[in-house]
Structure 1
């Protein structure tokens, strides 16, 4: 099983919220024997969405293939002015290049959603990503993790995820991995 962590933040620092959350997910997924891939939007070089180009940019082709190769997706996004970053949406819009495939977009991919904000509005980002995932024919999990950024870390260690949120991340990972395993076994799954 393979998982992709889509880091939709423009931050590049490993000690940033997105870097620490991505790192946490990688550690937990690897401990379950799940192969991981991090797609850092800040380092991707994805151009503005433009389907009128004569050729699809190579960076876009590579991104789409990485997204299609993953069984599980975890989308991580900060909330900016009431929504996810526009560059994150732009990246997902490029999945339009898969429209003519037998299983277009992210058909039947399982997607876990995480969003952080300075206040209580992180759920707006979750709702946005949920709508996008469904439009791309994916299955967003019914459990997501909206984060109040000031509570994300231990008070005495700003590089360590708080127990409160590590428990939520672990639950999201467990639900995603269980859902995918049961789906592969063609067993019904009820959450």
Structure 2
């Protein structure tokens, strides 16, 4: 999906905030990545074990290879999809800590400036996932990103996710719409870059 204006293919980074191998959050991040690739984007998915970084310290990323890779991918991203499990009504500490390292992104696009950000909250009930989604959107704004108009909550997650796909049509449709918005806003941003250069 190159844009006519820039010739660039959007690059989307997807981040799962769960450490449990094969978690619902991991599977949703992988499913969304597949949807992005089917629509012509390139992707990089970080599962929970890959973002199990030390607590944020300014400058630590200069000496930590996994952190440098994470920040390189965020730096070149046109869009980001955040998938968090709901822990006590908010995002996982794992995901929050990883996003704190966006403080180390400098240059012309500090933090997640201008990136489209899709937000997905996963949990065992509606109240907690709605609260978590709101927190993901607040963090995205604070990092200067553009949360998509549609965020997605996935309550009763174990009943909704099969090994290969989103099993519940309503949530599948919402997730596809969110991914489409991430890609649309990513294209808009690459066009704006061309105009302002």
TM-score range, shorter chain: 0.7 to 0.9
Q: Does 1:58 align with 2:65?
A: yes
Question: CA distance change for structure 1 residues 53 and 70 in 2, over 3 Å: closer, same or farther?
Answer: closer
Following superposition, which runs of at least 4 residues in structure 1 exceed 6 angstroms of deviation?
none
Question: CA distance change for structure 1 residues 24 and 55 in 2, over 3 Å: closer, same or farther?
Answer: closer
**Residue pair 1:152, 1:165 contacting (<8 A) in 2 also:** no
Paired residue for 2:148, among 141, 165, 171?
141
**Could you tell me which residue of structure 1 aligns to residue 102 of structure 2?**
95
Q: What stretches of structure 1 of length at least 5 have no aligned partner?
A: 187-191
**Residue pair 1:8, 1:77 contacting (<8 A) in 2 also:** yes
Question: CA distance change for structure 1 residues 53 and 71 in 2, over 3 Å: closer, same or farther?
Answer: closer
1:97-144 CA distances to partner (integer Å, 9 max, x unpaired)?
A: 12x433211110000000011111211111111111111111111210
Secondary structure in 1 matching 2:174: helix
1:1-191 to structure 2, matched below 5 A, reads: 1-13=10-22, 16-51=23-58, 55-98=62-105, 100-121=106-127, 122-150=129-157, 153=160, 160-161=165-166, 162-186=168-192
- Name the TM-score, length of structure 1 as normaliser: 0.85
Please tell me the root mean square deviation across aligned C-alpha atoms, in Å.
2.1
Q: Relative to structure 2, which stretch is displaced further, 170-179 or 72-81?
A: 170-179
Question: CA distance change for structure 1 residues 52 and 69 in 2, over 3 Å: closer, same or farther?
Answer: closer
Structure number with higher strand proportion: 1
**Residue pair 2:17, 2:47 contacting (<8 A) in 1 also:** yes
Q: Relative to structure 2, which stretch is displaced further, 125-134 or 20-29?
A: 20-29
Greater relative contact order (Cα < 8 A, sep 6+): 2
Q: What stretches of structure 2 of length at least 5 have no aligned partner?
A: 1-9, 193-197
Q: Distance in 1 between matches of 2:59 and 2:69?
A: 19
Aligned length: 181
Question: CA distance change for structure 1 residues 42 and 178 in 2, over 3 Å: closer, same or farther?
Answer: same
**Residue pair 2:13, 2:44 contacting (<8 A) in 1 also:** yes
**Residue pair 1:45, 1:59 contacting (<8 A) in 2 also:** no
Q: Distance in 2 between matches of 1:137 and 1:158?
A: 34
Q: Distance in 1 between matches of 2:33 and 2:180?
A: 13
- Name the TM-score, length of structure 2 as normaliser: 0.83
